[in-house]
C-alpha cells in the first residue's frame, strides 16, 4: 500500500474518532437519561420538519417550482443540541412532552465515514437512555411507491436498529408525512395485504413480519402530518393527534441496539480496533499507571488508622488486580477492562473513569458492526506488565518487617511500620528498640517499655488517634562501658 493511501486512511480514522469523541462528550455531559423519544426514518422523509412542528416552531408553506408543489419552511430556528455534523440532535418539547432525538436518516448518502458516525450516534443514544419510545417517520409518497422497495427497506431498517424487536412494537408510533390521500383504514389494510403477500417468501425477514403485523393491528398508533395545499402558515390541527399517539405508546426499557453498517464502512473497523488497542495500551501504561501509584502514595500519606488496617486495604487492592488475566480471549479482555474500570472507580478518579468508559463503549460498538470475518482478540499482554508491577510494589510496601534481636536490641526495618509490629516482641530482655522506615512509622498503639531506649527513623512519624502514650520510664538499661563513654572508643 502506498504512503499516500496510508495517509488517507490515517486522516479518515482521525476524522471518525474525532466525531466519535464529540458524540461521547455530548452524552457524558447529558448524563444517562431516564427517558427519550427517538425519531427515525429515511433521509428526506420530513423528520426534522415534523420535529420543528411538534416543538412549536412557526412553519409556512411556499410554492416550489411551476408544477404546483408546496414545501414547508421554518420561520424560527430550532433550539436544540446538535451532535457531529448534524448526525443527531436533541430537542425538548414544551409542557414536559418529552425529550426528542432526531436521528440520521437510514439512507444517508454522505459516505462510509458519516455512516459510521451516524451508527455510533444511534448506538450511544440507545445505550445512554433507560427507556425509549420510537417515532418512525415515512412519507405518503414512499408508502404508495409501486415497487414497495423503499417501504420494505424502511421496515427492515427500523427492525435492525434494535435487537429485542418484539418489545419494539409496543413502543412504536408511525407518522405519515406529506399525507394527501391516505387514512388510517387504507394504511392498515395496505400493510396487512403487503404482509400476506410477502410472508414466507425469500428475503422477507422476521423483523419485517413483526413490524408489519403490529402496524396492521387496530391497536397500533399511526398519525398523519398533512401536506400543504396552499401557501401560508401551517395549521396546528395535526399536532395534538401526533402527540397523543406518542403518549399512548409504551416506554420500552433496556432496548438493545442492533446497529449495522455497509461493507464499505466495515472496511475501516479493523483499523479502528488496532488504533483502539494502541490507545488502551497507552492509557494503562501512562495514565492509569501514574494515577494508581499516586493513589497508593496518597493512601499511605492520609491513612489515619492502624498499620493492620492499611495492610488490609493494600491486600484488597492486590485482590482486585489479580482479577485481571493476561489471556488473549476477547471476553476476558473485556472483563479486564471492566475490572480496571472498577479499580478506577475505587481510586475515585473521574477523568480516568470517563476516558475508560468511553473506550469500552467504543469497543462494544466495533464488535457489533465489524465484518463477520474479522476475529477480534484481546491485547492484554501488551500492558499486563503494569498490573504485575503494581502487585509487586504493593507487596513490597505492605510487607511486615522481620524483627531482628541482637545483644538485647530489637531492630525493625521496612516501608511502613506500626507499633503493633513490635508490641509482641517487647520483653524484659530488650533494652533498645530501633525502628527504620523508608516511608512511615505509625504510632498506632501505646508504648509501654520501661527503661528501653527507643529510636524512630523515618521520613514521617504518624500518631494514630488523638493521644498515644509512650512510657519509657523505669529500670535503667544496660550499664555503659565507662572508657567508651569517655572518649568514644571501644577499648579491648
User: By three-state DSSP, how is residue 470 classified?
Assistant: strand
Query: How high is the pLDDT of residue 486?
Result: 46
The domain ranges of the chain are 3-263, 269-398, 404-487
By DSSP bridging, strand 129-139 and strand 99-102 are unpaired
Q: DSSP per residue over 347-404, as a string?
A: TT-HHHHHHHHHHHHHHHHHHHHS-TT------GGGTHHHHHHHHHHHHHHHPPP--E
Calculate the dihedral angle through the C-alpha atoms of 317, 321, 322, 324, rounding to the nearest 10 degrees: 160
Give the chain's length.
492
pLDDT digits (tens, 9 = 90+) for 363-399: 999 999 999 888 888 889 999 999 999 999 999 999 9
- C-alpha 53/C-alpha 70 separation (Å) is 16
Question: How far apart are the C-alpha atoms of 158 and 196, rounded to whole Å?
Answer: 20
Neighbouring C-beta atoms of residue 110, cutoff 10 Å = 14
The answer, as to whether pTM is greater than 0.75, is yes
Helix (H) or strand (E) holding 89: strand 88-92
Mean pLDDT in order along the chain per 10 residues (492 residues): 59 91 85 83 86 84 71 60 52 62 72 89 88 93 91 86 73 93 93 91 83 89 89 86 92 84 90 94 96 96 93 97 92 95 95 96 93 88 96 96 89 92 78 94 89 92 87 64 47 41
Domain 3-263 has CATH 1.10.30: no
- CA-to-CA distance for 468 and 462, rounded, in angstroms? 11
Q: What are the cell numbers at 449?
A: 517499655
Rounded Cα distance, 41 and 51, in Å: 12
Residue 417 β-bridge partners? 441
The pLDDT value recorded for residue 120 is 92
Of residues 194, 398, 195, 430, the one with CA closest to residue 303: 398
User: Model confidence over 47-85: pLDDT tens digits?
Assistant: 888 888 888 888 888 887 655 677 777 655 444 444 444
Amino acid at each position: 500500500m502506498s504512503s499516500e493511501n496510508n495517509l488517507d486512511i490515517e486522516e479518515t480514522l482521525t476524522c471518525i474518532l474525532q466525531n466519535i469523541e464529540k458524540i461521547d462528550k455530548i452524552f457524558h455531559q447529558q448524563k444517562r437519561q431516564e427517558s427519550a423519544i427517538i425519531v427515525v426514518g429515511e433521509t428526506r422523509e420530513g423528520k426534522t420538519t415534523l420535529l420543528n412542528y411538534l416543538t412549536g416552531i412557526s412553519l409556512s408553506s411556499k410554492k416550489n417550482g411551476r408544477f404546483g408543489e408546496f414545501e414547508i419552511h421554518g420561520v424560527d430556528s430550532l433550539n436544540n443540541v446538535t451532535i457531529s455534523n448534524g448526525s443527531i440532535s436533541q430537542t425538548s418539547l414544551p409542557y414536559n412532552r418529552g425529550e426528542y432525538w432526531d436521528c440520521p436518516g437510514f439512507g444517508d448518502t454522505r459516505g462510509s465515514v458519516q455512516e459510521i458516525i451516524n451508527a455510533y450516534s444511534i448506538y450511544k443514544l440507545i445505550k445512554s437512555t433507560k427507556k425509549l419510545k420510537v417515532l418512525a417517520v415515512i412519507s405518503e409518497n414512499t408508502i404508495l411507491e409501486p415497487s414497495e422497495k423503499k417501504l420494505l427497506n424502511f421496515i427492515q431498517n427500523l427492525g435492525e436498529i434494535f435487537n429485542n424487536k418484539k418489545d419494539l412494537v409496543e413502543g412504536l408510533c408511525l407518522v405519515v408525512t406529506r399525507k394527501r390521500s391516505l387514512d388510517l383504514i387504507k394504511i392498515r389494510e395496505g400493510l396487512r395485504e403487503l404482509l400476506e403477500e410477502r410472508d414466507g417468501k425469500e428475503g422477507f425477514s422476521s423483523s419485517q413480519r413483526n413490524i408489519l403485523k403490529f402496524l396492521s393491528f387496530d391497536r397500533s398508533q399511526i398519525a398523519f402530518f398533512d401536506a400543504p395545499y396552499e401557501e401560508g402558515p401551517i395549521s396546528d390541527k395535526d399536532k395534538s393527534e401526533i402527540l397523543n399517539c406518542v403518549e399512548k405508546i409504551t416506554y420500552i426499557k433496556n432496548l438493545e441496539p442492533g446497529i449495522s453498517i455497509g461493507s464499505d464502512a466495515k472496511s475501516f473497523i479493523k483499523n479502528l480496533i488496532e488504533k483502539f488497542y494502541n490507545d488502551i495500551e497507552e492509557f494503562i501504561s501512562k495514565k492509569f499507571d501514574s494515577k494508581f501509584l499516586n493513589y497508593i502514595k496518597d493512601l499511605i500519606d492520609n491513612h489515619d488508622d492502624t498499620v493492620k488496617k492499611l495492610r488490609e486495604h493494600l491486600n484488597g487492592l492486590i485482590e482486585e488486580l489479580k482479577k485481571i488475566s493476561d489471556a488473549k480471549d476477547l471476553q476476558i479482555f473485556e472483563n479486564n477492562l471492566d475490572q480496571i474500570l472498577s479499580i478506577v472507580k475505587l481510586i475515585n478518579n473521574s477523568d480516568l473513569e470517563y476516558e475508560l468508559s468511553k473506550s469500552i463503549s467504543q469497543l462494544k460498538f466495533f464488535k457489533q458492526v465489524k465484518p463477520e470475518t474479522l476475529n477480534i482478540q484481546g491485547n492484554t499482554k501488551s500492558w499486563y506488565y503494569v498490573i504485575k508491577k503494581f502487585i509487586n510494589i504493593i507487596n513490597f510496601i505492605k510487607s511486615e518487617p522481620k524483627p531482628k534481636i541482637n545483644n538485647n536490641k530489637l531492630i525493625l526495618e521496612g516501608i511502613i511500620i506500626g507499633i503493633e509490629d513490635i508490641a509482641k516482641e517487647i520483653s524484659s530482655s530488650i533494652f533498645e528498640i530501633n525502628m527504620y522506615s523508608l516511608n512511615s512509622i505509625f504510632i498506632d498503639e501505646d508504648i509501654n517499655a520501661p527503661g528501653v531506649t527507643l529510636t524512630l527513623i523515618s521520613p514521617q512519624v504518624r500518631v494514630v488517634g488523638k493521644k498515644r502514650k509512650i512510657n519509657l520510664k523505669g529500670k535503667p538499661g544496660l550499664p555503659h562501658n565507662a572508657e567508651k563513654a569517655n572518649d568514644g572508643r571501644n577499648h579491648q
